[in-house]
Amino acid sequence: MSAPVGNIVRLVVSRIAVLLVARTLTGLVLAVAASRLLAVVVYQSSAAEPRIMASVIGVFLVIAVVSCWSPVRRSTAIEPTSALRLD
């Protein structure tokens, strides 16, 4: 008697998504606040250029989703009772 795989995956991914959104917004606020310092390093573009920030956020979100998806799928592939016996 265990939960369906879809429910487990949905639960874990939804919790991770909430954390990702919260941390992304925090990082965006900090990046905008530090844009004056970035202007010194990034030549010939404004420090708060939307394309750069959107690209960086997109890359990090894709990496985070891929890195959490693999362990979730692997953990739902094994039988819970056998996992508890190994523990």
CB 35 within 8 A of CB 48: yes
pLDDT band (50, 70, 90) for residue 59: confident
Quote the Cα angle for 65-67-72, to 5°: 90
Q: Provide the domain limits for residue 16.
A: 5-78
The b-or-e profile of 9-31 (16+ CB within 10 A means b, else e) is eeebeeebeeebeeeeeeeeeeb
pTM for this entry: 0.58
Q: What percent of the chain has pLDDT over 90?
A: 0
Q: What percent of the chain has pLDDT over 70?
A: 83
Q: Is residue 84 part of a domain?
A: no
Q: What is the DSSP string of 35-60?
A: HHHHHHHSTTS-TT-HHHHHHHHHHH
Number of domains in the chain: 1
Residue 2's pLDDT is 67
Q: Is residue 85 part of a domain?
A: no
Q: Which residue has the higher pLDDT, 55 or 36?
A: 55
Q: Is residue 26 part of a domain?
A: yes
